[in-house]
Amino acid sequence: MIATLTEALAEWLRPPETLSLFRITLLLIFGSLVMYGGEWLTSTLLTRHASVHMGIIGRKVVVYLGGFLLLVSLLLELGFDLTGVLATAGIATVAIGFAAQTSLSNLISGLFLIGERPFEIGDLIKVSGTTGVVLSIDLLSIKLRTLDNLFIRIPNEEMIKSQVTNITRFPIRRMDLDIGVAYKEDPEHVISVLQSLAKANRFVLEEPEALVIFNQFGQSALEFRFCLWFEKSNFLALKNSIMIEIKKRFDAEGIEIPFPHMTLCSGSETGPFPLRILNPEPGEK
Amino acid sequence: MRNHLQFWTSRTLTEERIALCRIGPLNLWLRRDDQEWGVASERVDSRDLIDFANVPADVVPENLEWSYMGFRKAPHMFQLRPVVPDRPLVVKPARPLTIPRGESTSFCMAFPVWIEVVIGENAVIAIIPTELLSDTWFGNQEEGELAYATGIAAERYLKDIDLMPHYAVCEVETSNTAKDDLQFEKLCLRTQHIALYSGTRHLWSSPVKISYEGKMLTSAVSYDMGPPKGEEGLKLLAAAHRPAERALTRLTFNGSFTHDFKGKQR
């Protein structure tokens, strides 16, 4: 039975057109299998041993290269003469080069970004005033999702030229709060209160220790910088809780947070200018 | 409760009653009906209580947040088990402690345990900390790991620790085999290697041994598998999640920070 089938197949493939069609079909099927298999293998290996974005880049390189080789093989099998195409490619390359300067610049910038690895997929970064989570790092651009869920595409050339801040690169961060208190307050007492608040808040890391710095004598207030270390995922929890705790504790201790204000004097020997309201409302003096 | 061990025994809960289990600052409320178990918790100011009572439903505070687990037929037995916290613990000595070269010394530390609520054969419906511990970081600004600060300083003698019923006491033996004196700074305790035992008044953990061998390089921290010597007749309540081999060195070579024991030479 097998011999009969083989003979029938050989008879069917005898005409050159049929044979050619059969070879093209085989080329398509096996070529696609090899290409997608190679893509999966490359992506898996690079993701496991390098990083997610290297896996994505590797996958795209295999697909583009494999697709190009498959296309050339199909064209050759179909009988196209590619010599002429190659001859004109040289001239076309110059024209394309001029037209694709920006894309080439983005591509080369992308390769530098891949090599430097200033951030990875999933990192929260700030670039040119935009803050977002890195969704993908592609050959021509990176894609971000902002915290209010907008999609941003930034060309790699711009990334290379700009200052990029990777907010989540390190596992812990410091939150710096600028707090002003009235001039009448005792600075040592304020520092003691803030230090006790840092100790009591469970999101503030015990180490590295929190810092309270008496920064300067401001225009309207004594200005302190309250520096708190936290694990990077606890930003919101710490920000809200510590601000509320500061307010409550300052109210309980009678520590005034002053409004910006100014006192006018005509000279060092005089007191502040008095203020008198003309045509006061009933009840006002 | 006369004996600490009684708190950890199995009990029955009928459908009409609520179980109130108090240990340290944690009040644990349990209720059951035919097809579900409910658990709620609150923290109070008192810290030295350990008892259990079945109470009527009308004494339950109204502001409790209950969580429920469904069963085809809810088991009527339950048990509370102590478990170690889910992160490493960082401990510092109460006062600067220097260990001369060639010498060894021991000290005690304590940490609050977590409570595992087990229903029936082995269904865990809740794991609740008896105390909420503060976060701390064991490492430097670039790398390290998140841990808990116990807030309880390590002391040379157990009598100097203000023991509470929800604390587990850990005996730490330190030997300085280096050429110089050693000032002990802090210790990172790996809770996954620690077993818990019940004594008459509080819990105990398996002991820890530290061997300081020299400048910056290696500090061998090993976790014993047997019970501590601080009390006779201890009962094993919770085995270590991952028993460490005897005299296993916990080394990492990722930088100058990740040694579980930090001391400096004098």
Name which residue leads in pLDDT, A242 or B5. A242
**Average pLDDT over every residue of B96-102:** 84
Name which residue leads in pLDDT, B38 or A23. B38
Query: Which residues of chain B are within 8 Å of residue A234 when distances are taken between CB atoms?
Result: 135
Mutate which: A170, A174, A204, A206, vs B, most B CBs within 10 A? A206
Mutate which: B131, B134, B262, vs A, most A CBs within 10 A? B134
A207 contacts B135? CB cut-off 8 A: no
B/e letters for A196-232, b = 16+ CB within 10 Å, e = fewer, are ebbeebbbbbbbbebebeeeeeeeebbbbebbbbbbe
Query: Where is mean pLDDT largest: A64-68, A228-232, B33-37?
Result: A228-232
Per-residue confidence (pLDDT) for residue A259, from 0 to 100:
79
Site of tokens 């080069």: A97
**Average pLDDT over every residue of A92-96:** 69
**Cα–Cα distance between B202 and B109 in angstroms, integer?**
13
**Between residues 87 and 106 of chain B, which touch chain A (CB distance below 8 Å)?**
90
Residue A224 to chain B, least CA–CA distance (Å): 23
B245 pLDDT above the threshold of 80: no
Per-residue confidence (pLDDT) for residue B253, from 0 to 100:
24
Mutate which: A166, A169, A207, vs B, most B CBs within 10 A? A207
Per-residue confidence (pLDDT) for residue B223, from 0 to 100:
80
Query: Which residues of chain A are within 8 Å of residue B139 when distances are taken between CB atoms?
Result: 171
pLDDT > 90 in chain A, percent: 46
**Cα–Cα distance between B182 and B212 in angstroms, integer?**
8
A276 pLDDT above the threshold of 80: no
Give B104: exposed, middle or buried? Use CB within 10 Å, 0-12, 13-18, 19+.
middle
pLDDT tens digit sequence for A122-174: 999 999 899 999 999 888 899 999 999 999 999 999 999 999 999 999 999 99
Name which residue leads in pLDDT, A92 or A14. A14
Per-residue confidence (pLDDT) for residue B266, from 0 to 100:
47
Length of chain B: 266
**Cα–Cα distance between B147 and A207 in angstroms, integer?**
10
Per-residue confidence (pLDDT) for residue B215, from 0 to 100:
61
The residues, ordered by sequence, that sit 6+ positions from B197 with a Cβ below 8 Å of its Cβ are B203, B204, B205, B206, B227, B228, B234, B235, B236, B237
**Average pLDDT over every residue of A174-203:** 95
Mean pLDDT of the residues in chain B: 83
Name which residue leads in pLDDT, A166 or A117. A166
Query: Which residues of chain A are within 8 Å of residue B146 when distances are taken between CB atoms?
Result: 171, 231
Over the Cα atoms of chain B, what is R_g? 20
Per-residue confidence (pLDDT) for residue B126, from 0 to 100:
93
Ranking A16-20, B22-26, B167-171, B213-217 by mean pLDDT, the lowest is B213-217
Q: Is A122 left (phi over 0), alpha (psi -120 to 50) or beta?
A: left
**Cα–Cα distance between B251 and A222 in angstroms, integer?**
48
3-class secondary structure, B123: strand
Amino acid residing at A113 = L
Q: What is the pTM of this model?
A: 0.73
Mean pLDDT of the residues in chain A: 86
Ranking A63-72, B148-157, B225-234 by mean pLDDT, the lowest is B225-234
Per-residue confidence (pLDDT) for residue B111, from 0 to 100:
94
CA distances from B31 to A19, B17, B23 (A): 78, 7, 18
